Amino acid sequence: MPTYEYECQSCHERHEAVQRFSDAPLTECPRCGGPLRRVFSSVGIVFKGGGFYKTDSRPSGSSSSTPAPSPAAKPAPATAPAAAPAAGASSAD
């Protein structure tokens, strides 16, 4: 369940509350009874595993300004059909 932070508009006291997403937001300050408003703030994110840092995403020898060329697929060599003997030429043994 997420932790929400509220600030009283009367006394400016901040409160944290652990609530479900489906719960209604708090409306009354527990200290003075004034109106509360939800405060939005940044959260910390932890990426686990490799590939998230500049040094993890590419080999050390490559440059960051130019992308590495992708290997081009070589077309298969064209094979000529077998040469058929000419109709007028025949060999007699």
Instruction: Please give the Cα distance from 8 to 47 (Å, whole number).
Output: 34
The pLDDT, as a whole number, for residue 29 is 93
The pLDDT, as a whole number, for residue 7 is 94
The pLDDT, as a whole number, for residue 46 is 79
Instruction: Please give the Cα distance from 39 to 8 (Å, whole number).
Output: 10
User: Which of the residues in the chain have pLDDT under 70?
Assistant: 51-93
Please, which residues have CB within 8 angstroms of residue 92's CB and are 6 or more apart in sequence? none
- Show the CA angle centred on residue 64, arms to residues 59 and 66, nearest 5°: 110
